[in-house]
Structure 1
Amino acid sequence: MLSVIFDLDDTLCDYAAARRRAKRKIDVLLSERGVPTGPAYWARFDELDPVLFARFTAGELALEEYRRLRFEIPAVDAGADRATASAAAAQANAVYVASANTDIELFDDALPALGSLRAAGAELSVFTNGPSDGQRAKISALGLAPCVDHVFVSEELGAAKPSPAAFGAVLRALGRTARQSVMVGDSPATDIAGAHAAGVRAVLLDRTGRQSDPGVETIATLAQLPRLLASAL
């Protein structure tokens, strides 16, 4: 049996759109509290978020520190005093977590692809980076749990993609070898490079057509996946 492991954010669900909606709400909240936002603020947020998440995964930051600092540091950089930035960051994070993790939708091609693969006998899993509460909230909001056999969240594993240790933990939990598995995701650095480092076949989902690497199996839509994997099922 082939074990097909899917990334969640921007692979099965449109997390980018959910983030944009959450950021618009936070722009209003922060402006009401005198914290300047705009492109520079969000560019700093996007720069900090993966760095702080890596420190959280490594045990260097508590969850609430990680979440607060990604909003607080850009506010201080934008000129807010530390006390104002800290208080506003806590409120901004509450809005972000509530909105981005629940006001979210599956891509139209997700359920048909999952259904086709399951009908063909594949074992289906989700392997996602992030805090457990947020990622589990997304799974619930999306109604995704009945559509897959397993869900793996980096916080629960104690390691995150692209670490080979994270992929190893997933394979051990599944009772599968690397050769019996395939990773499907939208991130060349996190999903594809991480899977390859663990010896797992990887398929890049490139919805925008912006990736170009002849050495990487690539699809433009999940509708193409069942046919691509047909010989392995």
Structure 2
Amino acid sequence: MDTTSTDTECPYRQRLASATWVGFDLDDTLHEFRNASSAASNSVIRTISEQYAMPTQLLQQKYAVILREKTSHAFADDRSSHDYRKEGFLALLESVEIAADDEFIQGLLVTYERSLAASLKLKDGALGLLQRLKSLGKKVVVITEGPQDAQEWTVTQLGIAPCVDYLATTNQFRSTKTTGLFSHVLKHLGVAPDDIVYIGDNLDRDIVPAVDEGILCIYLADTPTVRTGEGVFRASSLAEDEQLLQNWPVV
């Protein structure tokens, strides 16, 4: 059962307040990634549907399967976002027996990026929280799974690059969150686990592996019934930024 702790009941409160670094996941933690990527993918699918008279529902079903397969290793190699997207679009076209020329593929890449840029939106409270942390002298690291170039582009497009001291990706460290990314980032930055707090929205890929490294975590979760463990705080949104360093509810 979730409870709200007083200072004397919460042994982690001082650690939360004194941490030098605050880490964030990027996609669906700092911005509405699912919405933006869905809008971009749908733009591509509509383009294919109109060009080749293919049912959009069929294309959506095929592409959903492809995305699950292509992202299973969370971009832990040195390819760019264009490489991943091109591979995905080619796989989609192949799955419905369409042989498109390179010009059409390049057009799909442009369509996707333009739609993605137009759909990017910060989570409520994200900018205020980042600015407050910087005003308190905290250092901010974004630890995220994805191609380095795409995540750098996203941080810039969202307007939060000035608040981010370091951006770490699976693409850069050749490791996913579940296969050692947090350990690699801490070593690279020279940061001890007890000097960082990490905020993420995915229990399995953010919270569990970070806690395993000894990092205190804040789990963004709308579902209060999800159970976590020791060293994990719960927040319903980043808009609760005034509670980051005090009175955060313990799980």
Classify the TM-score, shorter chain: 0.7 to 0.9
> What residue is the counterpart of 1:8 in the other structure?
26
The answer on whether the counterparts of 2:78 and 2:172 sit within 8 Å (CA) in structure 1 is no
The answer on whether the counterparts of 1:35 and 1:80 sit within 8 Å (CA) in structure 2 is no
The answer on whether the counterparts of 1:14 and 1:105 sit within 8 Å (CA) in structure 2 is yes
CA distance in 2, matches of 1:211, 1:45: 32
2:223 aligned to which of 199, 209, 212? 209
> What residue is the counterpart of 1:93 in the other structure?
109
Deviation at 1:150, TM superposition (A): 1.8
**Distance change (3 Å), C-alpha of 1:172 and 1:98:** farther
Task: Give the secondary-structure state (helix, strand or coil) at the position aligned to 1:99.
Answer: helix
- 2:235 pairs with 1:219: yes
2:203 aligned to which of 160, 168, 188? 188
Task: Give the secondary-structure state (helix, strand or coil) at the position aligned to 2:37.
Answer: helix
> What residue is the counterpart of 1:179 in the other structure?
194
What does residue range 151-162 of structure 1 map to in structure 2 within 5 Å? 151-162=167-178
Larger Rg: 2
Task: Give the secondary-structure state (helix, strand or coil) at the position aligned to 1:121.
Answer: coil
2:213 aligned to which of 198, 203, 206? 198
Deviation at 1:25, TM superposition (A): 1.7
Identity %: 26
What does residue range 13-92 of structure 1 map to in structure 2 within 5 Å? 13-34=31-52, 36-55=54-73, 57-59=75-77, 65-77=83-95, 79-81=96-98, 83-84=99-100, 90-92=106-108
Task: Give the secondary-structure state (helix, strand or coil) at the position aligned to 1:184.
Answer: strand
**Distance change (3 Å), C-alpha of 1:144 and 1:102:** farther
So what's the TM-score if we normalise by structure 2?
0.76
Q: Deviations over 1:89-132 (max 9, x none)?
A: 55433322343256412123101111222333322111221112
Larger helix proportion of the pair? 1
**Distance change (3 Å), C-alpha of 1:53 and 1:93:** farther
Alpha carbon RMSD of aligned pairs, Å? 3.0
What does residue range 107-146 of structure 1 map to in structure 2 within 5 Å? 107-146=123-162
The count of residues paired between Structure 1 and Structure 2 equals 228
Higher relative contact order (CA 8 A, sep 6+): 2
Residue range with higher mean Cα deviation, 215-224 or 36-45: 36-45
**Distance change (3 Å), C-alpha of 1:134 and 1:65:** closer
Deviation at 1:9, TM superposition (A): 1.2
**Distance change (3 Å), C-alpha of 1:170 and 1:160:** same
Letter in 1 for 2:209: G
Q: Deviations over 1:23-50 (max 9, x none)?
A: 3321321112216353443344334325
Q: Deviations over 1:152-198 (max 9, x none)?
A: 2221222232322x111211232211111121111112111221232
Deviation at 1:59, TM superposition (A): 4.1
The answer on whether the counterparts of 2:123 and 2:238 sit within 8 Å (CA) in structure 1 is no
Deviation at 1:51, TM superposition (A): 3.3
